[in-house]
Amino acid sequence: MELSIIRSLMDKSFYDDHRGSKCPPRLFSKDARKIKEAIDTAMDRYERTVTPDEVEALFMSNNPTLTTAQKQGYASMFATIKREEPMGSDVAQEVLSKLFQQVVGEDVANIGFDMVNGDASTLERLRNLLEQYGDDFIPNMNIEWEDISIESIMAAAELEAKWKFNIPSVVRKIEGVSGGHLIEVGARPNVGKTSFHASLIAAPGGFAHQGAQCIILCNEESGKRVAERYLNAASGMSRHEISKDFAKASAKYYPISQNIRIKECQGRDMAWVESICKSYNPDILVLDMGDKFSAGGNYSRPDEALKACAIYARQIAKTYDCAVFYMSQLSADAEGRAQLNQSMMEGSRTGKAAEADLMILIGKSPSVEGQEEESPLRHVNIVKNKLNGWHGMVNCELNYLNARYEG
């Protein structure tokens, strides 16, 4: 740590902000202190940022009586310093400030010890100490403030929707998503969760058509069954239609198939998911089902484990700059209902929801007695939205045969 600070002090601006009493020699070990003295000499002499090689040359020339063993020891220290990347100014300032406060704290503790033992000079010594250091207890901050120009704000807003939704009723309310976003999607079984992400990615105008590299990790349905949904969505054809006209389906599916990777992965954990992202750098990552990936660790309650999994998913989204679609089940409270809310998330009513940038819950109306076919109507509820703030419900239809959400 101290060699990292030594490296940062070679920067003229940082050095000027921390010279004198703000960076006393006592902060450093004996050997590092001698190198600090060489930096002091260099700054006084050259008044510019210096390199580790320059400081080493100056140090060796100023210490001609070093033994061979001492020279080897300092050469090793300088080799370490040269490998060190300068700390960010804000981090180095905070570290140096903490070290400084520890040193002054030791002085105060020593004065307190003398006071307990009846030393009459302690109050004067304490007063002098506080006068000497004064505001140096408070670190000087060098903050890079956000650019709040109109151009910067609007450019950032455009980046919030890099990958556009392709469902007309949805895109009229929320344009799309971007890297770093965690999108939690919930529905009851057999409502159409897998068809939802297949439609968003593979149907006309979907993420894959826009050039996004998409990875789908499925631990509920088989990989082949999920792949078939994507073929349906891309071609707009049912299984029967594809079997009758393979060439037509292939012509529609092949252009985007290079942007889609699907992997069946039962029993995997979030650390494995992260390794996939590190290796393949997706723009869109689908976890179907997100709750079935273990976050690792021991948890006393199931909701804590689910929250940890969502936190991990959010970290992956941020770290690897991808939009993560985290598919979840809804509780029985959502069965046969159009309007849904966050409390219907199965197993974790608040923990998972707290991590989401966007939460989409898909409902369907209850079956009508005597109705031969199930209604294709689906109710897409936006129950949390940090992207543009819109909340509400839009209606669309799910075509089961070609796995497309339409309308």
pLDDT digits (tens, 9 = 90+) for 147-187: 889 988 887 777 778 999 999 999 999 999 999 999 999 99
Can you give the pLDDT at residue 320? 95
CB 174 within 8 A of CB 163: no
Can you give the pLDDT at residue 296? 81
* Beta-carbon count within 10 A of 93 CB: 20
How far is Cα 281 from Cα 243, in angstroms, rounded to an integer? 34
Can you give the pLDDT at residue 131? 67
pLDDT of 306 above 60? yes
Q: What's the mean pLDDT in 364-373?
A: 73
Q: What is the pLDDT of residues 70-96, one digit of tens each?
A: 999 999 999 999 988 777 767 777 777
Residue 15 or residue 203, greater confidence: 203
% of residues, the chain, pLDDT over 70: 91
List all residues 6 or more positions away from 65 whose beta carbon is below 8 Å from its beta carbon: none
Of 2-11, 22-31, 385-394, the poorest mean pLDDT is in: 22-31
* Beta-carbon count within 10 A of 231 CB: 22
Structure tokens at 368: 């009508």
CA distances 65 to 32, 60, 69, Å, are 18, 9, 11
Q: What is the pLDDT of residues 21-30, one digit of tens each?
A: 567 777 788 8
The model's confidence at residue 366, banded by pLDDT at 50, 70 and 90, is confident
Can you give the pLDDT at residue 142? 61
Q: Which domains, and CATH codes, for the chain?
A: 2-137 (1.10.860), 158-406 (3.40.50.300)
Of 92-106, 209-223, 272-286, the poorest mean pLDDT is in: 92-106
Can you give the pLDDT at residue 316? 96
